[in-house]
Chains A and B, each alone.
Chain A
Amino acid sequence: MSTFEFPPSIRSRPVYCVLEARPGKAHLMIADAEGAEALIDLALRAPELMAKAHVIYIPKATDFGAALNALNPAQYYEGPSYSAAVSRIKRVFSDASMGLQIYLSGTEGLMGQALSEAMQAGYDHTAIQTEHRGSLARRMQCVHCKGITEDVSNDPFQCSHCGLNLFVRDHYSRRLAAFQGVCIDAEEPGNVPPSKELYS
């Protein structure tokens, strides 16, 4: 199982739990990559959810689609990327009625973006369940140019927009669904320490 125990961090950093079945009129499940495993585990524990479930899945480079589909959700969608899926996700939130349960699983970037959409649609973020699975890569905002770099797994890294060398902070914005990247060599241009894999 691709789970990871995050070390304690600062108060703005999201914390994740293990998805649990909650009573609801409908269940929206959004996952990417290994996040599928969290949904499969959830369905094993509470198979009755699936008849009222809408699953939105972005496989990335994984192969869990068939297993997810085999859970027989009421609706199943597989998309090539989050940005391809986002208009559908917005529509689902805007159509939803009281009693919708939201389950998010997979990478921090996927969960963060879906949570941000849900908040914009009026959902309280504390009522949304999130379970991290798979990659530890982060969605980073460059505080200087404001550009977002997806799937950052090394610290420091180069901003994919302005090219500055940024270090990876734990400070996190739910609204932006991103961690903050700050120039690492501002006080000594060119002195960039070797990049290390996050949590290595």
Chain B
Amino acid sequence: MTLQFNTETFRDDYSFHNSQRAIDRFPFPFHEDSYMYAVNMERHQGGPADSVYEKRFDVDEHYVAEMADRAKVLGDDPLRCQSLPHMTLAGWDLLELIMVSKSEEYPDLFELHRKGREWYWINKPLGIEDHFTFMDDTTLPYGPMEYITRQTQGDFCVLDQREDNLWMDAGMVTTQADWSLDFDIGMNFFEWHAPVPLAHEKGIFKRALKFLLNIQQGAPARRLNWTMTVNPLLDTSPENYHKWGIQKTTLTSENIGAKQHLRVELQTFFRLPRSNALVFPIRCYLMSFQDIVSKPKWGRRLNRVVRDLPEELASYKGFIDNRPLMLDYLSQFDDGLPTSFGVWPDEDITPTLQR
């Protein structure tokens, strides 16, 4: 295997870390020096070599540790994975999509051997080998959605499509930016987004829904979203907010570079063939401020975005109280020079910090 998996934790001692490769391929979400909601969709048909956009389901150095964290979350709270009764077929669709994608794109890590309905799945990084009968729930240790998403990084929302709307009728949600699957399951697209400020008024959700309803098989789409997290904590759930909320108050000017993380979600959207459901994986990438500012363009830009973000958004994303501390830190890495358009670090054309 070419990929080395980190031994690391996303809780307690927080030994999570990004290698230089992970820093270089981090999906920095800001294409310009300011941010406002947009229906920033694009095709998810590959991307630059070794970028997080290249494969349908990116597998990176955090894979094994993230799956161990997910198992821990599910052990503590099985309600993080739920599927309404009519969603089992979509679960099989999802299992097929992931197994086929991973075995095609990472043949050294995953193998899928199919003889009719008799399937044989090998997941080398997690040491899993299972024979099962496709579409027969009794031949897997979990339901199909739970089985495959215990082996795939990112949260998964499986959305039923009916009445010109999308319904959050199944999901595996253990690395979420503060929303509850258990509460939101069964809601439609507008209802589960109800708490988001400003975007409804801008018509964002209406346009996004129109786009998503029309996603076709074989033509997946993607977008980025982002928030802020103190400590590399994957499970920033409302369920556990009374436990992790206090960590937001532990930032100091000394530890902020290492402790404060930009949390980026690579959201992708795939039409599923039998159920006509839409699967919406939400893959979380974390990077500390000190690693971000190692790229001069990203350091300059992050300072400007955080500084100029409307209060409602800073508040909704949960960092309004820490914004002054963030800006004290980030402004050291902003000399006011212009930045190039686009998300890439552009190190070949970006001047080093002028101070």
Contact = CB atoms under 8 A, between A and B. Distances in A.
Given A144-B241, A182-B238, A176 B191 contact: no
Nearest to B186: A175
B238 A11 contact: no
Q: How large is the interface on A (under 10, 10 to 19, 20 to 34, 35 or more residues)?
A: 20 to 34
Contacts of A113: none
A143 B248 contact: no
Contacts of B243: 186
Interface string B194-238: 110000100000000000000000000000000000000000001
Contact of B187 (A164, A170, A173, A189): A173
A183 B245 contact: yes
Pairs A-B, 5 closest by C-beta atoms: A186-B245, A12-B194, A10-B194, A183-B242, A11-B194
A187 B195 contact: no
Nearest to A183: B242
A125 B239 CA distance: 28
A173 B242 contact: no
Interface string B178-202: 0010111111001111110000100
Contacts of B187: 12, 173-175
Interface in A141-185: 141, 143-144, 146, 164, 169-171, 173-176, 180, 182-183
Interface of B: 79, 180, 182-187, 190-195, 200, 238-246, 248-249, 321
Chain A contact residues: helix, strand, loop or mixed:
loop
A5 interface: no
A95 interface: no
Contacts of A175: 185-187
A52 B204 CA distance: 46
A193 to B, nearest CB: 16
B186 A143 contact: no
A24 B160 CA distance: 31
Nearest to A164: B242
16 contacts: A11-B193, A13-B194, A143-B180, A164-B242, A173-B184, A173-B186, A173-B187, A174-B187, A175-B185, A180-B180, A182-B238, A183-B245, A186-B241, A186-B245, A187-B249, A189-B246
B183 A176 contact: yes
